[in-house]
Amino acid sequence: MKERIKEVIKRTFDLAEVDNNISTSNCEKWDSLQHLNLVVELESEFNLSIEPEDIAEMKSFNDICRVLYKQLNP
């Protein structure tokens, strides 16, 4: 799952490489608008709906993994 998430981040932000430490603070392209694009892409990729509260929390690769893991394994 982690690899699929990375692929989505790469594709959405148009990046060459994505590592485990990527977050809003170290990635220039990850602004508020791109953040929503990322959510749209993640929702389509994993066929789920992410709640606004979670969206606000997803500020790094690790956050995303945590939120998605919680949703997929309730």
Partner 1 sequence: MKYFIFRNSTIEPFFLDNETSYSGYENISEIPEESEAFVWFYMLSFKPDAKVLVEEIASYFSKLLLVSKQIPSNKNLFIFTLNDIFDFHIINGDYSLSKAIAEYNLNIILLAEQNKNIKILDFSNFTTQYPRNQLIDWKYYFLSKMQLNPKIAVEFKCWFSGQMQAIQFKRKKCIIVDLDNTLWGGILGEDGINGIQIGGDYPGNAFLEFQKSLLELTKSGVILAVCSKNNETDVIEAWEKNPNILIKKDHLSAYRINWNNKAENVQGIVAELNIGFDSVVFIDDNPTERELVKQFFPTIETPVFPTQPYLLPIFTKELTERNFRIYSLTEEDKSKTLQYRANAERLDFQKGFADFEEYLSSLEMELQLQKANSFTISRIAQMTQKTNQFNLTTRRYTDSEIIGFIENGDLVYCVSVKDRFGDYGITGAIIIKIDKLIKSVVIDSLLFSCRILGKGIEEAFVFSIFNKLKAEGYKMIHASYLPTSKNEQVRSFYEKIGFEIVSDSINVAEAKNYIINLILNEFKIKPYFNIIEI
> Which C-beta is closer to partner 1: that of 21 or that of 44?
44
Largest CA distance in the chain: 33
SS3 3: helix
Q: Which is nearer to partner 1, 1 or 36 (CB)?
A: 36
Structure tokens at 62: 């690790």
Q: Which among 1-9, 16-24, 37-45, 62-70 is the span making contact with partner 1, rule CB under 8 A?
A: 37-45
Enumerate residues 6+ apart whose C-beta is below 8 A from 59.
Answer: 23, 24, 25
Single out the residue of 21, 43, 69, 72 in contact with partner 1 (rule: CB under 8 A).
Answer: 43
- Tell whether residue 55 is a contact of partner 1 (CB under 8 A): yes
What φ, ψ does residue 21 adopt, rounded to 5°?
-95, 0
- The footprint of partner 1 (CB under 8 A) covers 32-33, 36-37, 40, 43-44, 49, 52, 55
